[in-house]
């Protein structure tokens, strides 16, 4: 099965081709340009250099959240359009689960963390078993002071990945919680992880694919606060 995967949930964007579990090609970019300008051109260039056509793709996959509201919408909309136009199946996967695949080389516990602002991170805990991440918790926005005792209870160092890794590492270091920081090349979200996480998911149609935000946007939160204050 040939999977074309997209990752646009944070500052970095990437696309990947994975054939039967093996990486064929991956393009990534971390720039100030919006993903709406970079995502499809990267995919088109990658397919051309891999001597593949969009019609060769069996499944489209995308990180559907959590993450940047704008980035998630761009990725999901891109995949919905491709799946609809090609009448192909597609699937959305957890951004955090896709990041957990970066822990395969080290094994043990993996702790993906994305900076969610407001003194929180998006997080889920995983353990590498039989060559794949196994979920220990659901995806959630969580304060570091709540996450710390959960990690401490694991009784072993966790492998920190994600754009919230440095923030989390500083907190864990002060709290005396053991951890290992992912190197730069494994720290950020990747479309390869999206493709790997998609392999055991049940595909759907473009109509089935929806973003998963976990919490309201800042604008919606501020609106609710104004309403609650009678403004």
- Answer yes or no: same fold for 2-95+189-222 and 103-187: yes
pLDDT digits (tens, 9 = 90+) for 173-222: 999 999 999 998 899 999 999 999 999 999 999 999 999 998 654 444 44
**What's the token pair of residue 101?**
């695949």
State residue 33's pLDDT score.
61
Looking at CATH, the fold of the domain delimited by 103-187 is given as: Nucleotidyltransferase; domain 5 (3.30.420)
The proportion of the chain whose per-residue pLDDT surpasses 70, expressed as a percent, equals 92
Q: Residue 222's pLDDT is what?
A: 42
CATH entry 3.40.50.720 includes domain 2-95+189-222: no
pLDDT at 32: 59
Which band of pLDDT confidence, cut at 50, 70 and 90, is reported for residue 70?
Answer: very high
Judge if pTM exceeds 0.95: no
At 72, give phi and psi (nearest 5°).
Answer: -65, -45
Q: 124 vs 45, 130, 134, 218, 226, CA distance in Å?
A: 33, 19, 11, 22, 31
Q: What is the pLDDT of residues 72-105, one digit of tens each?
A: 999 999 999 999 999 999 999 999 999 999 999 8
The SS3 call for residue 157 is coil
The whole-angstrom separation of Cα 123 and Cα 66 is: 9
Domain range list for the chain: 2-95+189-222, 103-187
């Amino acid at each position: 099965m040939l999977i074309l995967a997209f990752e646009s949930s944070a500052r970095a964007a990437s696309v990947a081709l994975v054939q039967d579990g093996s990486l064929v090609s991956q393009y990534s970019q971390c720039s100030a340009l919006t993903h709406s300008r970079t995502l499809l051109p990267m995919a088109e260039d990658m397919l051309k250099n891999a001597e593949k056509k969009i019609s060769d793709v069996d499944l489209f996959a995308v990180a559907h959240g959590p993450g940047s509201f704008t980035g998630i919408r761009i990725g999901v909309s891109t995949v919905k359009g491709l799946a609809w136009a090609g009448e192909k199946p597609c699937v959305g996967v957890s951004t955090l689960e896709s990041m957990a695949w970066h822990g395969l080389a080290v094994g043990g516990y993996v702790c993906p963390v994305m900076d969610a602002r407001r003194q929180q991170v998006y997080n889920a805990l995983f353990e590498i078993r039989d060559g794949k991440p196994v979920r220990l918790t659901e995806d959630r926005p969580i304060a570091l002071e709540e996450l710390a005792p959960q990690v401490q209870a694991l009784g072993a160092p966790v492998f920190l990945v994600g754009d919230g890794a440095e923030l989390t590492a500083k907190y864990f270091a002060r709290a005396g919680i053991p951890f290992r920081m992912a190197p730069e090349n494994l720290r950020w979200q990747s479309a390869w992880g999206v493709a790997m996480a998609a392999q055991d998911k049940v595909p759907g149609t473009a109509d089935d694919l929806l973003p998963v935000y976990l919490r309201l946007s800042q604008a919606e939160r501020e609106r609710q606060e104004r309403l609650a204050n009678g403004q």
